[in-house]
Structure formats: structure tokens, C-alpha cells
Homo-oligomer: A and B are copies of this chain.
């Protein structure tokens, strides 16, 4: 149920509408948690009816009206409670690794294109993160010194950067391995 908590954190950082949250889940928060707008609207509704969130109708001109959600006191308490209870170190779910092991029973060389595609995507994400880091934390326009919240955002971003760098390097390794084993007959 960490989507609830991710929403609480995001709304504490900045109140906003379901649409805005959905966009954030494609960007900053989305670096370590994903959610679609359908899911977000549903959860917002539930959390609001549970009293964890407040809503305000905001009429707009030239665009549809929107509902701005913000965290109510009980929501803040719920987040604090979650922060104080331990969570399980999560395990990966990595489709591509399943594919790579599965390739032994098919043609490993046929995977090269797919791996190259993933390599491209992760390289782009890395570039994107690095640009954001420069803009928000390490470049000349960034605040200095950073406050606690910014330090925490930065260390999370550094985690994303480390992850993407590691992944790109591993995909290089995978490609080298696929080329090395070359075209082989699938195993029985």
C-alpha cells in the first residue's frame, strides 16, 4: 500500500490535482514508484473519504476545473506511523532477466536488438537524471546550502543515477555475452 504513502509524500511536498500527481509519477516520484492516472484518481478518492486528504475545487478559465488535494492531519499521522514501522527490503522484478535466461531455449542472438533498446532507454534516463541533478542540486542555479528536504531528495536522485549507471554497465556486459556465445542451437 505504498502508493498511498507516495501520494502523501508528494502532496506534502506540494499540493495538487490528480492530473498533476499523475504527471509527477511520470517524473520525480516516478523514478522509484509508478502509477497511472486511473489508479491515482481511485486512491485519492478513497483517501479523501477516509479523511486523510482535503480537497478544494479550483475553477479555472480556459481549462477544465480541477480538484486540489492536500494532506490533512490524519494523513500526516498515517505517514508518520508508516515511516516508523519497518518494511521488507524489496526484491526485484526484472522481466529482462527472465528473458535472458529463457533465451537459452531459443535463439540468444535474437535478444540483441531488445537488449540494445533497453540500453538506449536506460542511457536516456541516466542523462535525464543527471540534467535534473545539475539543475536542482549541483549546478550554479541550485540553492546552497540545501535544506534537509532537498538533501533527502538529492540522495534519492543519486540512487536513481547509481541504478541507471549500474544498469547500463550491466547491459553492456549482457551484450558482450550474447555476442560471445554467438548463434547457437537452442538447448533441449
Measured CB to CB, the residues of A under 8 A from B are 2, 5-6, 8-9, 12-13, 29-34, 76, 79-80, 82-84, 86-87, 89-106, 108, 110-111, 114, 117-118, 121-122, 147-149, 151-156, 158-160, 162-163, 165-166, 169-170, 173-174, 177, 180-181, 184, 187
Contact = CB atoms under 8 A, between A and B. Distances in A.
Given A89-B121, A162-B166, A174 B148 contact: no
Nearest to A151: B181
Q: Is the interface of A mostly helix, strand, loop or mixed?
A: helix
A111 B85 CA distance: 10
Q: Which 8 A-B pairs have the closest CB atoms?
A: A104-B149, A32-B97, A32-B94, A166-B166, A9-B102, A155-B177, A89-B121, A148-B181
A26 to B, nearest CB: 10
B9 A152 contact: no
Given A149-B187, A151-B177, A170-B159, A102 B84 contact: no
Copies of this chain assembled into the complex: 2
Nearest to A83: B106
A100 to B, nearest CB: 5
Nearest to A81: B106
